[in-house]
Structure 1
Amino acid sequence: MSPLSPSSPHPVPPLASRARRRSAAVTAVVAAALAAGLLAVPQSASAAEIRVHDIQGATRVSPLAGKDVTGVPGVVTAVRAFGSARGFWVQDPRPDRSPATSEAVFVFTGSSTPKVAVGDAVEVSGTVTEYYPGGADAGLQSVTELTRATWTVRASGQPLPAAFTLDSAAVPRRYAPTAGEGGSIESLRLRPGRYALDRYESLEGMRVAVRNAPVVGATSEHKELWVTAEPYQDRTARGGVLYDAYRKPGSGRVKVASLIPYAERPFPVANVRDRLAGVTSGPLDYDQFGGYEIQATELGELVDGGLRRERTHPQHSRELAIATYNVENLSPKTPRAKFDRLAEGLVRDLASPDIVALEEVQDDNGPTNDSVVSADATLRQLTEAIKAAGGPSYSWRQIDPADDQDGGQPGGNIRNAFLFNPERVSFTDTAGGDATTPVRVVDRDGEPALSASPGRIDPANEAWRASRKPLVGEFTFRGQPVFVVANHFNSKGGDQGLDSRFQPPRRGSEVQRIAQAKAVNAFVKDVLEIKPRASVVVAGDINDFQFSPALDALIDGGVLTDLVNKLPKRERYGYVYNGNSQVLDHILTSKGARRAEYDIVHVNAEFADQASDHDPQVVRIRY
């Protein structure tokens, strides 16, 4: 997925921009809390009185935020000597009795490499600061730090405090406390025995460890992966963590990065179902791109879990196979190897479906931001690659969008498109479809038909502002008309994360998806009003979960069945985000397409090596 991809639940900046921006000043959030009297700040404190747990306090924000402290003792447990967020973690070997107060803190030194070593006993002075990754408006939790720091090394070679083991006994199944709709949990006292987020916060900066940790999110381009400390909690059939309800976000998930020099220990390239055998340990950090993460100073050995890419079986002669595939910003500027891999997957893994609804097809010069909107070169290159891979000679249909009106990567003009095998199905071409003309359902002698095929559903509707418009086409298979709608709803960008300081987190982007779902639902109802048993297939990247309000709006009135709910529970996923295996892509069918066999074909999302970040899906409907 590219930066700001609309299929991304949250936009992912490129690696070069991921260095954390800092400020020595207290953020507006902390200042407001102080002004409201939610945080008690001592007027003065001598060096003998202040230890790390006094700085951390028993809530998410330090009671000493904005104050200077001097001579805080501790042992250096890890050093980050790269990037613009350099510094070191210091942990007090003499903890207090409270499980709510962390015994460690990060000392931020900016772009300067700190002159300390692991095992140094130090006394640190500086300003207590709450750093909000992404800025206060991002809604994330803060990290308590010491900034503008100075320190004195009192001894070297000291033993490190034992790492706290994260496991099913230590991490509660309940994920987060709540503070009412839109409320912040910052002022709530931490209850680490009750909530997973409180447990992690109570360990902020401290040495933690996972043992024989199952990998539940594959290694990313940023050299990070996800493991779970809850090996028996909500697992998928292939070893991931299943996200199938808002209240069940996988409390044991934690990200792993590395502080070990790459030349000394390359970061493991892991897939879901692999594991890190032995001990993985390091200070527990928190960042903008996934919440709590172990900054590993010790990495377990990668053990191959044997996960293999799936293949679906071919359709029978009387079965119409319809697939959906988000091809992730595909254009002629995409490396040829990706075209070849997509083609091989469509032919080998998806068994050459009769119809393919594609999402994220870019224009003929990709992200170059000019007036080009056609995508013939993109689709020609893909269909030629499919033919070379032994597949059919696919034809295609699509509608060029208005320039820069459909969101996605700037200049890319992504759109939905159809591929179809003319040896198996025919396409009903009806003139009149363009970027702005809405398709209508018309009655032709008691049979539904389209005013334009291909056509776009209600493109002037505000629901589609800066978003891809649904593409609908009329196909014929064995004399049976079939209406297929290809979709790519707006992204989750801007939603508050599962680990937000606002609980429950706000899902602001779903308002637009609900409106989009209503527009597609209304179109399906227009078809079924003329012929209640008409065959309608709605497919694509809906960018939302099967249990979401958007999907409720899409199936309203019982006009569609979301086929993911027909699968065994542990198989209901096709996308992995922050270690959660979840559903974003869907195929839905009307009652006229009732004899349907559905398959999510796991070839991408669980693997470090991907042709796309989405798994494709296929339905075989018997006529």
Structure 2
Amino acid sequence: MLSARVLCSALSLAGAPIATWAISVTEIQGNSFRSPYEGQTVNDVYGILTAKDKYGGWISDVPSSDPRESNGIRIYGPHALRGVSVGDDISLTGRVAEYRAANNPNDLSLTELDLIRDIIVFSHDNHVAPVLLGEDRTPPKGQPSAYDDGPDGWLSVPNNVTRLEEENEVLRPDLYGLDFWESLEGQLVTVPSPVAANFPDWFGAVWVYGAWPVAGLNSRGGLTVHFPESGGAPDAHSGAILIGRPLDDTKLPRAYMGMEMSDITGVVTYQFGNYYVLPLTAPDIVSTPDEWPSPTTLLSGSSPCSLTIGDYNVENMGPRSWHLPTIADHIVSYLNAPDIVFLQEIQDDSGTKNDGTVSADKTLSRLTAAIARVSLYEAQYEYAYVAPEDNMDGGQPGGNIRVAYLWRPAKVSLVSGSPAGNATEATEPVLDEQGKVTLSFNPGRIDPINTAWEEARKPVAAAWQTNNGERFYTVNVHYSSKRDSSSAQGDARPPVNGKSEQRTAQVNVTATFISSLLDLDPTAHIIVGGDMNEFLQTRSVFAPFVGLLTDMNEVAGVPPSERYTYVYEQHAQEIDHILVSDAVKAKGGAVEHVHINTWATSKGAQTSDHDPTVAKVWVCASEDREVGSAHDSDSDQGIVQAPWNQIIVL
């Protein structure tokens, strides 16, 4: 492809060393993350220009027999390639640089040539065959890096133990995702039959995977974070790649999970904390998913002991929120009006106005009224919450988001005899005059002044009774967000999992409360749910729950790839959970994730950024489920009852 390979005379410009031999692109790239020629000026670098943008372009040299060495490289300089066209066979002199944006210290560096001069054009209209991913080279499954070697792989805690580029080990592209994409840095590649794993990000880039083996493929076409059947750490979906802005300024399709596009050919680069393919031109839409969200099939049974529990993060809902009527419709039309609904992100009565208001009566009364209207007044709900201190629970300033309960008094009620709690007083399990377990404040916050809850929503526990007098208990949580996390494709290994230590402390406080309740009644029926902002696959965070609570997905046998309520980057993921005590687990149950938001056709079409979940549980000591039981077709909503222990994922 390139014939001119000549000796160069030893020169020096302003003291910068210049290589005395013509150096190939593969030698410059080397077999690790950083170039062995970093900082040196290299003379007579040959290559064919494969792509251009306003900042420069990319050249490709002859391929190396070593798959660790890329034969492509970025040529940086807004005017460096003036007069040079794609397909030109050229030589040039430039300085080897490792570029990292100053405001992103956790980014990996991009090997490039800058300070370009002495360009010679030898010929025109040359062709470079792109690397066909999935055939010529295939992304590995597993972990992003050899340093993601903790028990939970890339999700292991502690984070930021190793800096990848400080180690600068020889690449292992056959084993590790970051090594794989680094070994292709600057090269022209083709992604065959790309499928979108998410909506476009704020800049229009979209995560895709191509026609190669991937882990965690769900029925929609997304990639779900889950434990592999063979055991070990969860896959990081390193086979997914971000598709950036096309170099010809065409527009990427408005993608969503499961959309298939035509083949994408472009150059591999690193920017904004991730590896990208920058397409030469935008792909076309080939196909879109033909299935859309359906209502849950789970219905409350006619037995007082058979209950449905809904869980929904309603994303900053205030009394005047545009999406309040839609959420009301979801609760009725998609969740089948559960007996109890766990809500998160209920704002105060002034919404985002930062005026000291903490009451949410107006917000919740408008929501319950809207639900009643949607259901033609068949679904009547009461509500309960504990008001926070002003601006002490994080979230949008002035919004004072909190967790709240809705419940249908025709089926359940709060256990009476205890006052409702306030922002700072802790509820505790106690025995009432009848010797039954109740709570000192009902509902009440769990250890609200514990430092684990600094700038975080406090959980609210409640003691309930069915219409036949049986008691059960719930805890509604909204743990700290992953704010301050680092890119999963960044320098810190394992990636920084923002606030994981705080979430671990929050789980520990919650577990201590659950344990104290079980100490008084080892057979207590307990349901813990809400937005936990963490994968169960980050086992270190959830370790305090081991032996106390079980994931309802496990109880119901939901396939691991179908367990998701949220989508972020390339990952479909479950960060909203419903966990139950052994007494509930022993009686079985069902759970369905209703993908009304993750299956939307655009980010703007979402009502919330979370999907709701519905679980069906049995909350009584008695297991008599014959006449009037959970098997009975005469449900309390006049709709045919779904079979007990039914496993359906929507």
For Structure 1 versus Structure 2, the TM-score category normalised by the shorter chain is: 0.7 to 0.9
**Does 2:615 align with 1:619?**
yes
Contact 1:510 1:550 in 2 (8 A): no
TM-superposed CA distance for 1:398, in Å, is: 1.5
Superposed, 1:23-62 pairs within 5 Å as 44-46=17-19, 49-62=22-35
Which stretches in structure 1 are left out of the alignment for 5+ residues? 1-41, 82-86
State how far apart, in whole Å, the 2-side matches of 1:226 and 1:604 are.
18
How far does the alpha carbon of each residue in 1:267-286 deviate from its partner, in whole angstroms, 9 at most, with x for none? 22233222113x11211122
Q: Name 2:261's counterpart in structure 1.
A: 276
Instruction: Report the Cα distance in structure 2 between the residues aligned to 1:239 and 1:233, rounded to whole angstroms.
Output: 11
Shift of 1:135: 4.3
**Taking structure 1 as reference, are residues 133 and 398 closer, same or farther at Cα in structure 2, changes over 3 Å only?**
farther
Per the TM alignment, residue 158 of structure 1 is displaced from its structure 2 partner at its CA by 2.9
Judged with a 3 Å threshold, the aligned counterparts in structure 2 of structure 1 residues 353 and 432 are, in CA distance, closer, same or farther, namely closer
SS of the counterpart of 2:237? coil
Is 2:58 the counterpart of 1:90?
yes
Corresponding letter in the other structure for 2:427: V
Query: CA distance change for structure 1 residues 354 and 432 in 2, over 3 Å: closer, same or farther?
Result: closer
Query: Which residue is equivalent to 2:221?
Result: 239
* Aligned partners of 2:50 and 2:57 also within 8 Å: yes
Structure 2 equivalent of residue 416 of structure 1: 403
Number of the residue aligned with 1:465: 454
SS at match of 2:97: strand
Aligned ranges for residues 420-499 of structure 1 at < 5 Å?
A: 420-428=407-415, 430-444=418-432, 445-478=434-467, 479-499=469-489
Q: Compared with structure 1, are the counterparts of its residues 150 and 111 closer, same or farther at alpha carbon in structure 2 (3 Å cutoff)?
A: closer
Structure 1 residue 125: Cα displacement: 5.1
Alpha-carbon distance in 2 for matches of 1:206, 1:384: 59
Cα 1:373–1:92, aligned 2, differ >3 Å: closer, same or farther?
Answer: same
1:266 offset after TM fit, Å? 3.8
Q: State the Cα distance separating 1:474 from its structure 2 match.
A: 2.5
Q: TM-score, normalized by length of structure 1?
A: 0.83
Give the aligned length: 569
Displacement of 1:550: 5.0
Shift, 1:519, TM fit:
0.9
Question: Aligned pair in 2 of structure 1 residues 159, 611: CA closer, same or farther (>3 Å)?
Answer: farther
Residues 163-199 of structure 1 show CA distances to partners (whole Å, capped at 9, x for unaligned) of: 1122175222243342477123331111223323211
Cα distance per residue 1:99-129 (max 9 Å; x no partner): 2222223344589998865445555555433
Tell me whether 1:185 sits opposite 2:164 in the alignment. Answer: yes
1:242-268 C-alpha deviation (Å, 9 max, x unpaired) = 321444112311122231566xx4422
Which of 108, 128, 142 matches 1:161? 128
Whether the 8 Å CA contact 1:364–1:373 is kept in 2: the answer is yes
SS of equivalent to 1:241 = coil
Identify which of 273, 297, 301 aligns with 2:280: 297
Question: Which amino acid is the alignment partner of residue 162 of structure 2?
Answer: G
Q: For residues 100-249 of structure 1, what are the structure 2 equivalents within 5 Å?
A: 100-109=68-77, 118-120=86-88, 126-132=94-100, 135=103, 137-138=105-106, 140-147=107-114, 152=119, 154=121, 158-167=125-134, 170-179=138-147, 182-186=161-165, 187-229=168-210, 230-231=212-213, 233-245=215-227, 246-249=233-236
Paired with 1:70 and 1:536, the residues of 2 have a C-alpha distance of 71
Per-residue deviation, 1:160: 4.3
Amino acid at match of 1:610: Q
For 2:362 and 2:42, how far apart are their aligned partners in 1?
63
Query: Matched residues in 2 for 1:333 and 1:157: separation?
Result: 63
CA distance in 1, matches of 2:396, 2:524: 36
SS of the equivalent of 1:397 reads strand
User: In the aligned structure 1, how far is the partner of 2:71 from the partner of 2:84?
Assistant: 19
**Deviating 4+ runs (over 6 angstroms):** 110-116
- Equivalence for 2:560: 569
Q: Is the 8 A contact 2:214 2:237 kept in 1?
A: no
Q: Is the 8 A contact 2:446 2:461 kept in 1?
A: yes
Look up the match of 1:66: 39
Q: 1:223 and 1:427, CA in 2 relative to 1: closer, same or farther beyond 3 A?
A: same
TM-score normalized with structure 2 length = 0.80
Within the alignment, does 1:510 sit opposite 2:506 as a pair?
no
- Whether contact under 8 Å (1:107, 1:147) holds in the other structure is yes
Letter in 2 for 1:407: G
Match of 2:12 in 1: none
Matching of residues 229-378 of structure 1 within 5 Å: 229=210, 230-231=212-213, 233-245=215-227, 246-259=233-246, 265-277=250-262, 279-288=263-272, 291-302=274-285, 303-313=287-297, 314-318=299-303, 319-332=306-319, 334=321, 336=322, 338-378=323-363
1:392-446 deviation per Cα after TM superposition (whole angstroms, max 9, x unaligned) = 2432221222222212233332211112223332234643511111111111132
Mapped contact 1:271–1:307 kept (Cα < 8 A): no
Q: Secondary structure at the match of 1:511?
A: helix
Quick one: distance in 2 between partners of 1:123 and 1:369? 62
Question: Would you say the 8 A contact 2:87–2:124 is kept in 1?
Answer: yes
Match of 1:10 in 2: none
| Cα deviations by residue, 1:579-614 (Å, 9 ceiling, x for unpaired) | 222221110112333433222222222433322222
Q: Hey, what's the Cα distance between the residues in 1 that align with 2:327 and 2:89?
A: 55
CA separation of 1:345 and 1:554: change in aligned 2, threshold 3 A: farther
Is contact 2:215–2:235 with CA below 8 Å preserved after alignment?
no
Q: Which has the larger radius of gyration?
A: 2
C-alpha distance in 2 between matches for 1:112 and 1:504: 38
Q: State whether residues 193 and 199 of structure 1, in contact with CA within 8 Å, keep that contact through their aligned partners in structure 2.
A: yes
SS at match of 1:379: helix
Instruction: Please state how far the C-alpha of 1:149 moved relative to its aligned partner.
Output: 5.0
The farther-off stretch of 365-374 and 314-323 is 365-374
Q: Kindly tell me: are residues 493 and 146 of structure 1, through their superposed partners in 2, closer, same or farther at Cα, counting changes over 3 Å? A: farther
Q: CA deviation at 1:50?
A: 3.6
For the residue of structure 2 that corresponds to 1:329, the secondary structure is strand
Q: CA deviation at 1:220?
A: 4.0
1:490 deviates by 1.5
Counterpart in the other structure of 2:625: none
